[in-house]
Chain A
Amino acid sequence: MTDSTKSGAPVDSGARKPSEHERNWERTQLRPALEKSPERSSEFTTISGHPIARLYTGADLADWDAKRDLGVPGEPPYTRGIHPSMYRARFWTMRQFAGFGTAADTNQRFRYLLSQGQNGISVAFDLPTLMGYDSDHSLAEGEVGKCGVAISSLADMEALFDQIPLGGVSTSMTINSPAAIIWAMYLAVAEKQGVDWTILGGTLQNDILKEYIAQKEYIYPPNPSMRLVIDTFEFGARHTPKFNTISISGYHIREAGSTAIQELAFTLRDAIEYVEWGIRRGLDVDDFAPRLSFFFNAHNDFFEEIAKYRAARRIWHKTMTERFGAKSPRSSALRFHAQTAGCSLTAQQPYNNVVRTALQALAAVMGGTQSLHTNSLDEAWALPTEFAATLALRTQQIIAHETGIANIADPFGGSYFVEALTNEVERGAWDYIHKIDALGGMVPAIERSYPQREIADASYRYQLAVDRKQKIIVGVNQYVSDEKPIEVLQIDESVRASQIERLRKLRAERFGDNVNRHLTALRKAAEGTENLMPQIYDAVKAYATLGEICGALRNVFGTYEETAVT
């Protein structure tokens, strides 16, 4: 290759052996063209900084075997998707994350979204709930009902699902450190509605490892937190065969500023950690692995995202069959939810976000997602208004019904570029997975701040590229214009006041001795090694509050403080 044609080539193109035809093209077509009009940049990269070559041909897939690496939809290694006919059978689940104010406020939004054709519920909790504090705790001041719904007890959970039959919807709950408790509340509501747990469908996020890595809503140290996660796996395997007890999440890792490869690698290495802990608990891998689900970001770089989802399925299949000896195909078929990238939304020219979100959603669908959340245009300002949330849902409906994309599984299968990129993303992810194996697993890696540091570095690199206009964000560092403010949703402090009143009433009306007895029993159980779900369930049903239950566990487990990496 001559110097003039070298630019933009992938790093490891040394091994690439272009055909006679391609070499001829370089000489007779490309070189004169470049002399006449040089390329826009000396280097082309994805948004993650991954190099992209000028052209991909069969020479980029020399070691690639279509039968082994691509296969067909619904068959290992699931590169092309986990179902034989994909969206021809059924569209992905359109699942818009929602939650704000009181349980009654959010209940209304859920019922509205269901009436508009959404088919799954996804609950956003407020920060006090995520951190295991009741709405009346002093640290909850200013935060109640702000970035999600406030849930302090089973009474709030009953209000949240009022007139929503849990047997007929699937519910995803974005809750992590207090996941076991919130799940127990959900199960108690189901029981009150007379819904058999065996038909309950839904997903608990319950991914504590990514909290330490990225989202930072942890309460207890990693080891007792992992125990709680495995308790839910075990309980779920026994009682709720259709409920996903975890959604192993790369979304937040990406939002914290990781690259696509880091998102993929850290998520899958987290997953490996959970499987190892489950097996160590004595669970049969095929008893709980089918209930592991995943959650990825759908970011701006179209092909990189599609490659990421394809590589994710291939790595997971290999991991489950080879590393863990899983026998059930359901253990090794990676199912995932996708959400468009919140961090890509701009406060400037917010209507542009509708376009960004649509393109990101397109990548998620072409990458074979099982469910999807599309962000609203106003989320760089506040929680979405009903108008913005509806438009976001309509975006998915347009993709499903009008674009024709849902007619075909894995439309990019066999593309030289997408296959080569899938291979590269996969290789990059394996490198990280092996590094974390060498550190002794994800818990030790987190304790040494390894993934945290990798993400902080990537995030800073990206910011510098934006500041230097090496990466362009329309309306932010180019095509800037004056604009009028948009209308946003405001949550006032009356939510906290009404929650404080509800809690006062609850504490006065419930049978206090009963609550104390259950909390004492839970504390005692936490000191031992038994599965804590039954004790948590009993405490929840006695209307012990979230804060009281988390407090009891704090007494036994202690709390975690991170070493901040800047």
Chain B
Amino acid sequence: MSEKKIRVLIAKPGLDGHDRGAKIIARALRDAGMEVIYTGLRQTPEMIASAAAQEDVDVIGLSILSGAHNTLAPQLIELLKQKGMGDVTVLLGGTIPEADIPTLKKAGIAEIFLPGTSTQDIVAFVRNRAAQKAH
């Protein structure tokens, strides 16, 4: 049975240049057999939403270490809804204070991965999510 590859967009929104985490996740998901597109640095939410539409991705992984997550992540979710892409799973990783997590989840972020998360946990999460959606 040939399974459709899970398509993931790893994106760096905002002005933040810290790309170590984004690159590691991109590589780990690729090594796990997924199709991964990395946007490169300094993408606006608009650019990310367009790239997600163009690449027809199942998952968007945002990496933010600058403290701008409360502004940028909800903006992206809103844009995806406007584009009729509300079913795309949006994940967030980076330096995210715990107090912000409930609001971000309420805004529509499926999961927030904090520093120290194993890449295998993220791979497993993405796979489970894709399996759930397939049903």
Contacts and interface: CB of A to CB of B under 8 A. Distances in A.
Is chain B a partner of chain A in the same complex? yes
Given A130-B15, A565-B23, A566-B26, A382 B68 contact: no
B40 A564 contact: yes
A133 B15 CA distance: 10
Contacts, number: 115
A187 B23 CA distance: 39
Interface stretch (A31-39, A139-147, A288-296, A543-551): A139-147
B16 A127 contact: yes
Contact of A381 (B23, B28, B41, B95): B95
A564 B16 CA distance: 15
A216 B71 contact: no
B14 interface: yes
A485 B99 CA distance: 8
A564 B71 contact: no
B99 A257 contact: no
Interface in B82-104: 95-99
B99 to A, nearest CB: 7
Contacts of A477: 116, 118
Nearest to A379: B95
B38 A566 contact: yes
Contacts of A497: none
The interface residues of chain B, by DSSP majority, are classed as: loop
Contacts of A493: 71
Contacts of B38: 564, 566
B25 to A, nearest CB: 9
A143 B27 contact: no
The interface residues of chain A, by DSSP majority, are classed as: loop
Contacts of A397: none
Interface residues of A, number: 48
B56 to A, nearest CB: 20
A491 interface: yes
B128 interface: no
Query: Could you say which interface size class chain B belongs to?
Result: 35 or more
A381 B98 contact: yes
Contact of B15 (A131, A256, A383): A131
Given A347-B114, A459-B23, A564 B15 contact: no
A343 B26 CA distance: 19
A456 interface: yes
B101 to A, nearest CB: 10
B20 interface: yes
A359 B26 CA distance: 32
A476 interface: yes
B70 interface: yes
Contacts of A473: 116
A410 interface: no
B33 interface: no
B71 A256 contact: no
Contacts of B15: 127-128, 130-131, 133, 139-140, 143, 217
B72 interface: yes
Interface in A244-264: 255-257
A215 B17 contact: yes
Given A127-B16, A130-B15, A562-B40, A346 B116 contact: yes
Nearest to B121: A467
Contacts of B68: 127, 141-143, 146
A382 B95 CA distance: 7
Given A127-B15, A142-B68, A143-B14, A566 B27 contact: yes
A216 B95 contact: no
B116 A488 contact: no
A345 B116 CA distance: 9
B44 A139 contact: yes
Nearest to A139: B15
Contacts of A217: 15, 17
Given A142-B70, A562-B41, 15 more contacts: A139-B42, A139-B44, A141-B71, A143-B66, A143-B71, A146-B66, A217-B17, A381-B98, A382-B95, A456-B23, A456-B27, A467-B120, A490-B97, A564-B19, A564-B23
Interface of B: 10, 14-20, 23-24, 26-28, 30, 36, 38, 40-42, 44, 66-68, 70-72, 95-99, 114-116, 118-120
8 contacts: A131-B15, A141-B71, A147-B67, A256-B20, A381-B98, A460-B24, A488-B97, A564-B19
Interface of A: 127-128, 130-131, 133, 139-143, 146-147, 211, 215-217, 255-257, 343, 345-348, 380-383, 456, 459-460, 463-464, 466-467, 473, 476-477, 485, 488, 490-491, 493, 561-562, 564-566
